[in-house]
Chains A and B, each alone.
Chain A
Amino acid sequence: DARVTQTPRHKVTEMGQEVTMRCQPILGHNTVFWYRQTMMQGLELLAYFRNRAPLDDSGMPKDRFSAEMPDATLATLKIQPSEPRDSAVYFCASGLAIGQGPKMNTEAFFGQGTRLTVV
């Protein structure tokens, strides 16, 4: 049963510490999204990748957030230094876009999320 896997599921950390969240997209998917969900803002797109290349990270605070895809099976989202306002659930989603155009051919499948609490 193919699924998006995120680790850790929960993370509590102190302000100022580095946090790294990991995502294993569904095998064969070439598009990976990172979202942050809070009660106030809903689901916000932080960054996304197509064929491992970052396409848009305008939703991320650049001074502290970074997103990478070191290989096709791993996407990472790093926060350094973390702040209490970063507390949220972080979701990774993957999908497939094929052919010449950029259109997605499948819906985005979500991981279970990482619940981050920064104290």
Chain B
Amino acid sequence: EDKVVQSPLSLVVHEGDTVTLNCSYEVTNFRSLLWYKQEKKAPTFLFMLTSSGIEKKSGRLSSILDKKELFSILNITATQTGDSAIYLCAVEAGQGAQKLVFGQGTRLTINP
């Protein structure tokens, strides 16, 4: 069974801190790994990673994939209260036509 595991499940830090969120996976026929941010409503897309070792960056957020060790990390530097959200990791995988399988998410709270 395809599995995506995120850690930690919950994290509380102070504004300005740097955080690292983890996502590990065990799936058949891996295609890509995606990170989403969910605030009050629908998840919004952050990154799609398909190749190992290539960092994707967007402002204070960055992410990298390790296909050998089957994990990805999402880094947020100089955190702000607006970064508070649930961060979801999803893997596109499966036999035949691929599907998106999500992890449990990491609930990140940034305190002022």
Q: Which residues of A contact B (CB under 8 A)?
A: 4, 33, 35, 42-45, 48, 50, 55-56, 91, 93, 97, 102-104, 107-113
- Of B15-23, B61-69, B101-109, the segment with at least 4 beta carbons within 8 Å of chain A is B101-109
Given contacts A43-B105, A56-B94, contact A108 B42 (CB under 8 A): no
Task: Please count the residue pairs between chain A and chain B whose beta carbons lie under 8 angstroms apart in the complex.
Answer: 62
Closest to B42 in A: A110
Nearest-neighbour CB distance to chain B for A104, whole angstroms, equals 6
Identify 27 residue pairs between A and B in the complex whose beta-carbon atoms are under 8 Å apart, listed by A's number. Answer: A4-B42, A33-B99, A42-B102, A42-B105, A43-B43, A43-B90, A45-B102, A48-B99, A48-B100, A55-B96, A56-B94, A56-B97, A56-B99, A91-B42, A97-B97, A103-B92, A103-B98, A104-B98, A107-B48, A108-B45, A108-B100, A109-B45, A110-B36, A110-B44, A111-B42, A112-B41, A113-B42
A45 to B101, Cβ gap below 8 A?
Answer: yes
Given contacts A42-B102, A102-B98, contact A107 B31 (CB under 8 A): no
How far is B96's CA from A103's CA once the two chains are assembled, in angstroms? 10
Q: Which residues of B contact A (CB under 8 A)?
A: 31-32, 34, 36, 41-45, 48, 88, 90, 92, 94, 96-105
Q: Which residue of A43, A50, A91 is within 8 Å of B97 (Cβ)?
A: A50
Nearest-neighbour CB distance to chain B for A67, whole angstroms, equals 13
How far is B92's CA from A94's CA once the two chains are assembled, in angstroms? 13
Which residues on the B side are within 8 Å of A4 (C-beta)?
42
Q: Which residue of B32, B88, B103, B105 is within 8 Å of A104 (Cβ)?
A: B32
